């Protein structure tokens, strides 16, 4: 019987593993409504968001996995999740809008 070996990666390890090759969306900080609450910074599970000033944040796109937690945490909607170049919007499967399932 063949044995399979899985490589375990600890949570929050994106700063050690490039993720940009498989990400579908990435955050874009609009910087016009930020209130400096740091919810995006503190909510990022990978630690890829950094502070540029009191009300300015950015993300290291080489390591961001595009999960969207930062955008969901932002109380003033100052972060947009933008589709990566060459990617298509995912199509819902199984009963979603536009599906033929009943």
Domain ranges of the chain: 32-83
pLDDT of residue 101: 47
Helical (H) or strand (E) element with 39: helix 39-43
Tell me yes or no: is domain 32-83 CATH 3.20.20.70: no
Q: Does residue 32 surpass a pLDDT of 50?
A: yes
pLDDT of residue 23: 72
Report residue 15: phi and psi, to 5°.
-70, -10
If one compares 97 and 41, the residue with the highest pLDDT of the two is 41
How high does pLDDT run on average in the chain? 79
DSSP string computed for 6-23: PPP--TT-GGGS--TTT-
Residue 59 has which token pair? 């993300």
């Amino acid at each position: 019987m063949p044995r399979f070996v899985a490589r375990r990666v600890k949570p929050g390890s994106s700063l050690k593993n490039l993720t940009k090759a498989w990400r579908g969306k990435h955050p874009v900080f609009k910087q016009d409504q930020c209130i400096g609450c740091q919810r995006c910074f503190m909510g990022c599970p990978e630690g890829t968001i950094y502070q540029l000033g009191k009300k300015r944040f950015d993300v290291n796109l080489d390591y961001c996995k595009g999960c969207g937690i930062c955008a969901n945490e932002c109380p003033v909607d100052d972060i947009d999740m933008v589709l990566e170049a060459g990617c298509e919007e995912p199509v819902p499967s199984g009963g979603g809008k536009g599906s033929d399932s009943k």
